[in-house]
Structure 1
Amino acid sequence: MAFNFIRAAAAGAALALCAAGGASAAVNLPALKIDTTQTTVSGLSAGGFMAVQLHVAYSATFAKGAGVVAGGPFYCAEGSIVNATGRCMASPAGIPTSTLVSTTNTWASQGLIDPVANLQASKVYLFSGTLDSVVKPGVMDALRTYYNSFVPAANVVYKKDIAAEHAMVTDDYGNGCSTKGAPYVSDCNFDLAGAMLQHLYGTLNARNNATLPTGNYIEFNQSQFITNHGMATTGWAYIPQACQAGGSATCRLHVVLHGCKQNISDVQQQYVRNTGYNRWADTNNIVMLYPQTSTAATNSCFDWWGYDNANYAKKSGPQMVAIKAMVDQISSGGGTTNPPTNPALPAPTGVNTSGATASSMVVGWGAVSGAASYNVYRNTNKVNALPVSGTSYTDTGLAASTSYSWTVRAADANGAEGATSAAASGTTLAAPGGGATCTTATNYAHVQAGRATQTGGYAYAKGSNQNMGLWNVFVTTTLKQTSPNYYVIGTCP
């Protein structure tokens, strides 16, 4: 049964009394066994904007994916409070999505954020309540459009059919679904945390609906990682018993970011304990990390418009650096960084190479029973950004007259890999045309390699200035170098 506002407030007061009377002193964040390939992030409102910032800027860390509730595109505010409260909340028609995509690509090429290619295999879950009067649904529509440039459409779920106000939605706790107000958690008969986590991670064990062990909650010392900058001296985490220090399990990590006016000082532990995340964490060995802002932060918000630092959206932003350091610390207990394995899947056989050009090679193999997809490795490095559904893959961007070696692994529906195949070798052809070289790659890769330039979100061949189309990781172009620093669109004979 839904909690009404009075009951929710009473529950919050009870939690506050519990925290004041029985909580132990904050501890240093422990080092746990975390599979760092399984780290994800989500957030509501300001936390949603911050989740996007972390997902994009630290895409090597959060490559698995992100969940966003009532957030918006990366760098939406462009350092302006006017933009933040205007186009990024109330007037989404003014959001310059193509400019934000261009900024993302530029910063990635400059090393200010991680390479956008890391986002190609990400899962993204988006939620917007139809009644949201704080961050209008059109802002989330713009976020969906923004992600179109980096994440395959099949990897994105966008749920926007629930009549919810501005809140984290649950199926059994909080205000009425159409209510806007503290603690900004609403009972809409929908388990948003569960839907989000199951999209990010795949099939999960049923959640724990019983009372969760009090000892699984810890208050940790955030001042290990940051002092001031709008961050509190302590944060919170939920650590399932199997994941606690000294345990044998290797666990996953999900970072949860509260919205404005939702930190511990504002709503006590209601966001930490009653948003539904921990029930799923408990039965699926997922550690939940809840960084906290302080009351010194503007409206207790995470910095998504520059109130603390002009570099707020980059890897160098103080709050960004701090949260990344928390992730690194809690993940430093010896967990694996390798993909999960499925010993039931045998190694693909018949791996071969064919169709060599000066810059590409086709790798083929025999089908494996039970495989949902395949991954291809060149000289031990995985080369396919997305799972390969067929039994061949064209590896591009290779150097002319160069020998390479490829192996293949089958993967199940959850991405767990089987045994590694025997290697197949191949040599690319010599550059044709008396030294002319053709390179087939994404427009993003061409710009990074100096074969093209970008302006206004489009890529242009260097020298000839031919328009190659959108500057992103999905559009592929073949460029022919006809003289030093001069490229044209075309093919080599």
Structure 2
Amino acid sequence: MDTTDIGITSTTIDTTTTTTVKRRDPPPLNVYVRIRPFINDELERGENQKLLHIIDEKHISVKVSPTTNNNIRNIQVSCNEYEVTRIFDHHCTQKELFEQILEQPTNEIFTGSNWLLCTLGLTNSGKTHTMFGTAEEPGLIPQCLQRIFLNVGENIDDKVLFKPDGLENLMPTTDCNLDLEINARNYIFKDDKNNKRRIRLPNIVQQQNSFQDLTIEDEYYSIWISFFELYNENILDLLVQPKDMKIRKNLRLMQNDHSTIIKNLIQIPVFDIKEAEDIIKFGYSNRATSKTNLNEASSRSHAVLCITLITINEFHEDPIMSHMYICDLAGNEPSTGTGKQLAETCNINTSLMTFKDCIRILNENQTTKKQMLVPYRNSILTSIFRPFFVGRGRTIICCNVNPCATFVTQTNDLLKFCALAQKTIIVPNEPKTGVGGLIRQQRKSKQKGPKRLVKNGPLKEKNKKDIINNDDEMEELGIQSIDGSSSFTIPTDVKSINYWKYCTKKALDLLQKQASNRRMFMIQLHCCYAVEKLSQYNVDPSETSVSGLSSGAFFATQIQVAFSATIKGAGIVAGGPYDCGAQMSYTSCMYTSTPPIAKSISNTMSWSSNKIDNIENLAKHKVYMISGTSDSTIGTSVMNQLYKYYVTDGQFIPSANVVFKKDLQSAHTFPTDFDSAGNNGCGSTSSPYISNCGFDGAEAILEHIYGPLKPRNNGVLSGKFIEFSQAEFLTNPRSSGMGDTAWIYVPKSCADGQTCKLHIAYHGCAQGYEKVGDKFVKNTGYNRWADTNNIIVLYPQAIATNTISMGGGASLPNANGCWDWIGWYGSDFDVKSGKQSTTTKKMIDRITNGFNPIDAPAGLDVTGTTDNSVSLVWRQVSGASGFNVYRNGDKVNNGLINGIMFTDNNLNSGTTYTYTVKAVSSTGAESTSSNSVSVKTTGEPPAIEAPNGLTVTGVTFNSITLQWESATGAQKYNVYRNGNKLVDVGITSYTDTGLNSATDYLYQVSAVKDSQESPKSNEVKATTLAEKICFKDSNYNHVTAGRAYHSSGYAYAIDINIPTSSDRTPLRRHQCFKKHELQILHQSYIQDSYPSIDVLQQLALQLNVSVEKVRQWFKNRRHSDKQKKRTTTHEH
């Protein structure tokens, strides 16, 4: 046999593999190899002889003796090289493995695909760990379930209208055919304290009436779990009760050319991931294991988990069923032992041998005219999975490798099989009659003859105009039905009723096709881009504030007044009086008007403690108002009335609590003091309505509400932007002018459990995500201050609708996605019951629900001082798990202090320090500060003091920029990295270059005067960015054309991104796309290389990127195609 047939590298060139074939061949098997790490016992035995060598991500070599001598110290080495789909070494995490192997297949079952994942390997090679993992490192199965339920979201079929019938067919459920499932759930969940999970399915059965009971808006899913093992060539259900385990019945396999059914197999519906995990844990505990020579708890059976997805869709009459099979194959090993264990080993080895024989013969049948019979029926294992071997589903093989030298011969055999399997192409072989495949009912086209005619027949060749206008043409075109039945005719006489019947049918067919395309588009969004649920955080509810611009400013005032017991302050940029839009035409609340406020004040007082919170709460509020001198949309005269509402006329808020800035020379825009992508000049009223006015509006608002702030973070933010579902808080949010999703920025400190504040920022009209992308979310400056001051920023999202408002007697559609300040979505828009108001309050309640208050330490006192230390003591706090000590506002201790005493060392002599202490709860939340104490160390102060305020102002993948405050009299500064002096500089900033990517570094600085060095400053930690590269010059055109991809999903590139040729446009890092994103863009480019702005916006929304990023990709792609065309023309 030629060595290329078994995967061993050879210099012989197999010309058959390079033949150009016009049709697309079926994809080969995906075969992955994972090498587990050595354990200590194996290292002590000398098993690590480096016999395995990973050449690259697809090739591996094995040093092995050609003899059967397994003496690991006397191996005569020869080297074999094998190729597979992907190789993972012992550094690969469970998450990385799932993303490479199973993430895409899991998403594809939502499109009706069926997948089988098998693990192969010796006993003790890590197969079960790969499948199940641990609580800290979940395996493929838990991650697969998590992704499925994430994709399903809220669209679970709570009525369970259909159930799987065996492994293939579907059947409607009734009140009498779910007894088996109900009994199984009742037992597995018998310990459920609230009894909810046990009674859930019986309640569903009682509530069922018919299929019409389900109101289908898009798609609903039901998820079913079955779990069985193949033990000694018997099929045994793992979901039976323990009392039935000893006398478990062998389930009967019923099979023909068209179907495979395991009689009486239990399949249980699950409604959340916790139920699925509990059922799998129950079945796993029933699996057969025993002690072997290689493993203390070796799996003695093949375990098969089947996750079934039933999809009910509004565009299909019949539900669709698809499956994910995950098979944990028992490890093959030498046939040792006696009795029962020997029989187990023989049956395991036999079934694995049959599995390999099937793959081998399928591979050989690819290259020979005489087709050998594939021995599916020689084993129960291969009989069950026969449909996958005939192409009715896709197969993945994951081979786990034990790296020990003792088993190098078996490892070599396993890798030889892997290489063979990787070259095997399974050709689909659907049955000619009956249902279409094992796993699901195939989607059937409802078009018959006409579809074929349009594609290949006379209608394609005729000009459409000629057919319609030729009144004299009476001939009829005879067409053979696509299913082979009798022919039918298509009339071409426009006066014939049959002609118009045909046109009507064609129109209906087209509508169905459009609906199918819409469904596929939604599946792509659903599978590739799943939003999160809004989480709860340790946020003090009393530290909640709001702000807004334009309609967002009007709405912020409404929220402030309606929920005054919750809100502590507001920032109003270009807004107007409360309730203004309900009292008069909206135009009277805008421009240079002076809207009357008497009715607004009267309503506020009469609604107090009823429609709105008690207005006495407003007396404690702080408000910061900004009106631009060039703002002609909401002029200063309008905001003057708001000030009167708050202070002079309404007298709701003391004047000392309200700041009104009206000297800023800005237009109708949000003011900042920095430039960012898309921001305008200060005098511009244009999208995205954010401008550099040399004034930080975010700082002014937050500092007025919360008091002095720590310096903002001008570098890379520590936290995370999270897109979450607004639909969780409001049914059908679009009908109420709110988007399906919104955004929140969570600083790392808040994600880690520290006590935080909450600020809600409302965008203006034409400023939401659907209009300007993430510019308002990221470019207003709020996040820079939030990052260093423990503030979470919530960005709710409004959308445009055709809803007509009659607020104040004026008719106006909400075409620009404004917040409701004139009554678009109900007359109660400006009180607590308003739809948008209630939704905001629900979000606030969710975020603040994690608040964990803890008392501040009391009695902080100094117990002693030296020339370089201060000792402190304080009282114990109930419920505290530890304490943090702060010196001059900066935390001193690295880990938590367990006791109530602390000594701060390495201080300067003769220097005054101020201390506070905070208690820390079990969740990591900090209390407020204790009383402060100031103390001076003994001795003389140093000749020069240490620099203050060392901060990180910039980070790249290979550099970190530092900045600090100047020290009096300093002539230069020493910069220290990781405790070692790096450089001395004469300015108060420094950029450290040539660093490693994704690496932590510690920095300090000291001042130097007349050769005398001060103490070192505070220490700061910074982490360089992970290097994400976009292209390299050698394959630039391929990348921009969407044809080249990095193995981890990014396009190949270098970070500097400076092409060597001047005619190439640089592709910056922010223009990177992942593989699935490039595929979507590529398909759109084929349809239209110059897409409209609507198409660009739709793609940007789908990919969660900016419109400019999508536009630049199309520009690069067109440039690449033009260059290629010029080259081709020149060659000709």
- Structure 2 residue matching 1:118: 3-state secondary structure: helix
1:134 and 1:341 map into 2 onto residues whose CA distance is: 48
Q: Report the Cα distance in structure 1 between the residues aligned to 2:759 and 2:624, rounded to whole angstroms.
A: 14
Paired residues of 2:630 and 2:668 also in contact (CA < 8 A): yes
By how many angstroms is 1:242 displaced? 1.2
Question: Could you say which residue in structure 2 is the equivalent of 1:158?
Answer: 660
Residues 418-472 of structure 1: per-residue CA shift (max 9 Å, x gap): 89xxxxxxxxxxxxxxxxxxxxxxxxxxxxxxxxxxxxxxxxxxxxxxxxxxxxx
| TM-score, normalised relative to structure 1 | 0.62
Number of matched residues?
A: 319
Classify the secondary structure of the residue corresponding to 2:588: coil
Counterpart of 1:89, as a letter, is M
* Match of residue 229 from structure 1: 736
Matched, 1:134 2:651: no
Answer whether contact 2:537 2:753 (CA < 8 A) is retained: no
Tell me the equivalent position of 1:71: 575
Partner of 2:542, secondary structure, is strand
AA at the equivalent of 2:712: R
| Bigger RCO of structures 1 and 2 (CA < 8 A, at least 6 apart) | 1
Aligned to 1:99, the other structure's residue is in SS state helix
Change (3 A) 1:97 1:27: same
Query: For residues 345 and 195 of structure 1, do their structure 2 counterparts lie closer, same or farther at Cα, with a shift above 3 Å needed?
Result: farther
Post-superposition offset of 1:89: 0.4
Tell me: CA distance 1:343–1:132, structure 2 relative to 1, closer, same or farther (3 Å).
farther
Which residues of 2 match residues 105-120 of structure 1 at below 5 A? 105-109=605-609, 111-120=610-619
Q: Is the 1:32–1:334 contact (alpha carbons within 8 Å) kept by the matching residues of 2?
A: yes
Answer whether contact 1:25 1:219 (CA < 8 A) is retained.
Answer: no
Paired with 2:711 and 2:662, the residues of 1 have a C-alpha distance of 24
**Separation of aligned partners in 2, 1:324 and 1:345:** 38
Q: Contact 1:216 / 1:238 at 8 angstroms: preserved in 2?
A: yes
Which residue, out of 252, 255, 269, partners 2:757?
Answer: 252
Give 1:89-100 correspondences, 5 Å limit.
Answer: 89-93=590-594, 95-100=595-600
Partner in structure 2 of residue 300 of structure 1: 817
**In the TM superposition, what whole-angstrom CA distance separates every residue of 1:364-390 from its partner, at most 9, and x where no partner exists?**
xxxxxxxxxxxxxxxxxxxxxxxxxxx
Residue aligned with 1:151, SS: coil
- Local SS of the residue matching 1:54: helix
Aligned-residue offset at 1:25 = 2.4
- The SS at the match of 2:581 is coil
Q: Which runs of 5+ in 2 are unaligned?
A: 1-524, 802-813, 862-927, 932-1132
**Deviation sequence 1:106-152 (CA, Å, 0-9, x none):** 1115x000000011111100000010010011111111110011100
Aligned to 1:378: none
- Aligned residue in 2 for 1:104: 604
Distance in 2 of aligned mates of 1:193 and 1:176: 17
* DSSP-derived class of the 1:224 partner: coil
Letter in 1 for 2:625: L
- Assess if the C-alpha contact under 8 Å between 1:125 and 1:158 holds in 2: yes
**1:78-111 residue CA offsets vs partner (Å, 9 max, x unmatched):** 255xx21x22102432x122221111001115x0
Contact 1:230/1:293, CA 8 A, preserved across alignment:
yes
2:589 matched to which residue of 1?
88
Deviations 1:274-309 (A, max 9, x none): 000000000011000000012324410000010111
SS in structure 2 opposite 1:161? strand
Q: Distance in 1 between matches of 2:613 and 2:742?
A: 26
Paired with 2:635 and 2:750, the residues of 1 have a C-alpha distance of 38
Equivalent pair of 1:79/1:310 in contact (CA under 8 Å): no
In the alignment, residue 239 of structure 1 is paired with which amino acid?
V
Distance 2:688 2:607 in 1: 36
Equivalent pair of 2:592/2:632 in contact (CA under 8 Å)? no
User: Aligned to 1:219, which of 723, 729, 746?
Assistant: 723
SS, match of residue 238 in structure 1: strand
| Structure 2 residue identity aligned to 1:35 | D
The structure that has the greater radius of gyration is 2
| 3-state SS in 2 of match to 1:305 | coil
* One of 670, 681, 685 as aligned partner of 1:168: 670
- 1:417, CA displacement in angstroms? 9.2
Aligned to 1:290: 795
Say if 1:32 and 1:335, in contact at 8 Å, map to a contact too.
no
Distance, in Å, in 1 between the alignment partners of 2:616 and 2:655 is 15
What residue in structure 1 maps to residue 852 of structure 2? Answer: 335
CA 1:24–1:335 in 2, change beyond 3 Å: closer, same or farther?
A: farther
Is the 8 Å Cα contact of residues 36 and 335 (structure 1) preserved in structure 2?
no
AA paired with 1:293?
Answer: A
- In 1, the alpha carbon distance for the partners of 2:773 and 2:601 equals 37
Partner of 2:842: 325
Hey, what's the Cα distance between the residues in 2 that align with 1:91 and 1:127?
Answer: 15
Q: Distance in 2 between matches of 1:345 and 1:159?
A: 41
Aligned to 2:623: 124
Answer 1 or 2: which has greater helix percent.
2
Give 1:342 shift: 7.8
Partner SS, residue 128 of structure 1: strand
Alpha-carbon separation, structure 2, partners of 1:307 and 1:330: 27
Task: Go from structure 1 to structure 2 and tell me whether the alpha carbon gap of 1:263 and 1:254 turns closer, same or farther (over 3 Å shift).
Answer: same
Q: Report the equivalent of 2:9.
A: none
Q: Is the 1:92–1:142 Cα contact (8 Å) retained in structure 2?
A: no
CA distance in 2 between partners of 1:48 and 1:121 (Å): 20
1:197 equivalent in structure 2? 702
Cα displacement (A) at 1:167: 0.5
Could you tell me which amino acid in structure 1 is paired with residue 652 of structure 2? F
* Letter paired with 1:320: S
Q: Which amino acid aligns with 1:126?
A: M
* Separation in 2, partners of 1:342, 1:56: 35
Runs of 4+ off more than 3 Å? 340-346, 416-419
Q: Deviations over 1:334-357 (max 9, x none)?
A: 333x9x8584699xxxxxxxxxxx
SS of structure 1 residue aligned to 2:828: coil
Q: What residue number does 2:488 align with?
A: none
Following superposition, the deviation at residue 26 of structure 1 comes to 1.1
Alpha carbon RMSD of aligned pairs, Å? 2.2
Give the partner amino acid of 2:623: V
Contiguous gaps of at least 5 residues in structure 1: 1-19, 347-415, 420-493
Match of 1:316 among 833, 839, 843: 833
Q: Secondary structure at the match of 1:160?
A: strand
1:48-79: CA deviations, max 9, x gaps? 000000000000110x1111000011101125
Which moves more between the two structures, 262-271 or 325-334?
325-334
Letter of the structure 1 residue corresponding to residue 838 of structure 2: V
| Cα pair distance change 1:48/1:313, threshold 3 Å | same
Q: What TM-score, normalized by structure 2, do the two folds share? A: 0.27
Give the counterpart of 1:240 among 747, 753, 760: 747
Q: CA 1:345 to 1:36, structure 2 compared with 1: closer, same or farther past 3 Å?
A: farther
Is the CA contact 1:235–1:290 (under 8 Å) kept in the aligned structure 2? yes
SS at match of 1:304: coil
Aligned to 1:44: 549
Conservation of the 8 A alpha-carbon contact between 2:629 and 2:662: yes
Sort the Cα spacing of 1:293 and 1:341 in 2 relative to 1 into closer, same or farther, 3 A: same
- What is the letter of the counterpart of residue 194 of structure 1? E
Provide closer, same or farther for how the CA distance between residues 103 and 345 of structure 1 changes in structure 2, counting only shifts above 3 A.
Answer: farther
